[in-house]
Amino acid sequence: MSTVLVVQHEDDAPAGWVGEWMRAAGAVLDIRRCHRDEPLPADLGEHDGLVVLGGEMGATDDATCPWLTPTKALIREAVHGGQPMLGVCLGHQLAAVALGGTVARAPKGRQIGVFDVGWNADAADDLLFAGLAAEAAAGRPTPAVQWNNDVVDEPPGGSTVLARGPSGTIQVLRFGPRAWGVQLHPEVGRDIVARWAQTDPSAPMALDRIGALESELRAVWQPPVTAFVDQLAVGRASA
To the query of whether residue 89 is one of the catalytic residues in this protein, the response is yes
- Cβ-based burial of 31 (10 A; exposed 0-12, middle 13-18, buried ≥19): middle
Whether residue 124 contacts residue 133, with contact meaning beta carbons closer than 8 Å, is answered with yes
To the query of whether residue 80 is one of the catalytic residues in this protein, the response is no
Of 34, 65, 89, 92, which residue is the catalytic one? 89
In whole angstroms, what is the distance from residue 141 CA to residue 113 CA?
Answer: 15
| DSSP conformation class of 214 | H
For residue 32, which amino acid is it?
R
To the query of whether residue 47 is one of the catalytic residues in this protein, the response is no
Q: ∠ CA(168), CA(215), CA(138), 5° rounding?
A: 50
| DSSP conformation class of 126 | -
In whole angstroms, what is the distance from residue 53 CA to residue 100 CA?
Answer: 19
Alpha-carbon distances, residue 210 vs 48, 106, 137, 193 (angstroms): 32, 21, 23, 8
Active-site positions?
89, 185, 187
